[in-house]
Structure 1
Amino acid sequence: MEIRSKQENFRLREWKLTDIDSLAKHINNVKIWNNVRDGLPYPYTMLDADKYIRMVQAQPYVQNFAIEVAGEAVGGVGIVPLTDVERLSAEVGYWLGEDYWGRGIMGEAVALLVDYVFRETGIIRLFASVYEYNPASMKVLEKVGFTRQAILRDAAIKNGRVIDMYYYDLVKREV
């Protein structure tokens, strides 16, 4: 599966085992790690990349896309669907290699993901949590149409510091 950007400067596509090198290269960055959950290893190794790609390839449908620029996977965008009574909701996550920041790629990538999820799956609600010190990520979500629903005070600990998390969501009927 492939989704081309309107500006034609990137595309979303499924992860491939040939992306191991570029995934490990671009995500192994403390500036990225500071803005994601601690479940993402840092330093990030080739073995971590191999495990991740094999995991997403085994999912029942495409939930995670590589962001490809000029033939190289330089970022990722995807969802984590919830289960049980929350099975119509999914958490959105995204990251982009530092060399590609400030180019408008992530805003369009998240918008393309939202369109795909609402069009191709039964999910009707997307949400994301952003650390208090990441206004660029908040701006990405707001640009796509997500609404800040809450500030979860002292909700996370990152790098030994207790921080607030900003909680955003987007419901299909609002799109």
Structure 2
Amino acid sequence: MNARPSLAALPRAPQTTIEAGSLLLRPLTPADVPALARHVGDVRVAQGTRSIPHPLPEGAAEAFVATALAPGRDEDVWAIDGTPGGSDPLVGVVSLKALDRKQSQIGYWVAPAFWHTGIASAAVRALLDANPHANCTVFAEVFQDNPVSARILTNAGFEYIGDAEAWSVARAGAVPTWTYLRKMA
């Protein structure tokens, strides 16, 4: 019986760097670990995601970067680099998790010091415009207690498709979500 290989087992193409005005979306590097640990160690960032634990365990940032750089990864993660605009080299991350049939799920977070500055909107738009996975459809979900993220998605052309729940490691529980999709073609 021919089993289909999982997406994680397939080697990923090298990530491209994406210019986004005063931002640069670039692959993570080991040099990002200290800033990454500092930002995701903030309970406000962790509780806004499904997978970041709080408190952040020792070595978690290093493991995240190593996974993001692994050839068999199923998710491409870009550092949101603010240096072109005179800011910090890591102000957040944006990612695309490969799904099936030319589909991906986008995720992102921005460090609280940079909230309400347009960085998340610019990063999401730049990644969608570049469409590095050649997607036909991109999905997203946000926790219902984060209407700012919902606006970022709708302003980037996503359409609301329903309510659901997702487990949040930092919150140690299921959190109501809004689910969105964007057709790319």
TM-score (norm 1): 0.84
Q: 1:22 to 1:56 in 2, by over 3 A?
A: same
Of all paired residues, the percent bearing the same amino acid is 25
| Residues in 2 aligned to 1:104 and 1:20: alpha-carbon distance in whole angstroms | 24
Counterpart of 1:28 in structure 2 is: 41
Contact 1:81 1:87 in 2 (8 A): no
Contact 2:40 2:52 in 1 (8 A): no
Alignment of structure 1 residues 89-128 onto 2, 5 Å: 89-117=103-131, 120-128=132-140
What runs of 5+ residues in structure 2 fail to find an aligned partner?
1-15
What runs of 5+ residues in structure 1 fail to find an aligned partner?
none
| Residues in 1 aligned to 2:105 and 2:59: alpha-carbon distance in whole angstroms | 25
Deviation readout 1:107-147 (Å, 9 max, x if unpaired): 01001111222xx3332110111111110000110111111
Amino acid at match of 1:75: G
Alignment of structure 1 residues 53-92 onto 2, 5 Å: 53-59=65-71, 63-69=76-82, 70-82=87-99, 86-92=100-106
| Residues in 2 aligned to 1:142 and 1:65: alpha-carbon distance in whole angstroms | 21
| Residues in 2 aligned to 1:59 and 1:75: alpha-carbon distance in whole angstroms | 22
Alignment of structure 1 residues 139-154 onto 2, 5 Å: 139-152=151-164
Q: 1:161 to 1:115 in 2, by over 3 A?
A: same
Higher relative contact order (CA 8 A, sep 6+): 2
Deviation readout 1:133-165 (Å, 9 max, x if unpaired): 11000011011111111123xx24553665421
Instruction: Give how far 1:18 is off.
Output: 0.6
Q: 1:18 to 1:2 in 2, by over 3 A?
A: same
Instruction: Give how far 1:36 is off.
Output: 0.8
Contact 1:3 1:112 in 2 (8 A): yes
TM-score (norm 2): 0.80
Instruction: Give how far 1:170 is off.
Output: 0.3
| Residues in 2 aligned to 1:143 and 1:94: alpha-carbon distance in whole angstroms | 15
Larger relative helix fraction: 1
| Residues in 1 aligned to 2:154 and 2:174: alpha-carbon distance in whole angstroms | 24
Question: Per the alignment, in what secondary structure is the counterpart of residue 103 of structure 1?
Answer: coil
Contact 1:27 1:96 in 2 (8 A): no
| Residues in 2 aligned to 1:160 and 1:47: alpha-carbon distance in whole angstroms | 20
Counterpart of 1:15 in structure 2 is: 28
Amino acid at match of 1:43: P
Q: What RMSD over aligned residues (CA atoms) do the two structures have, in Å?
A: 2.0
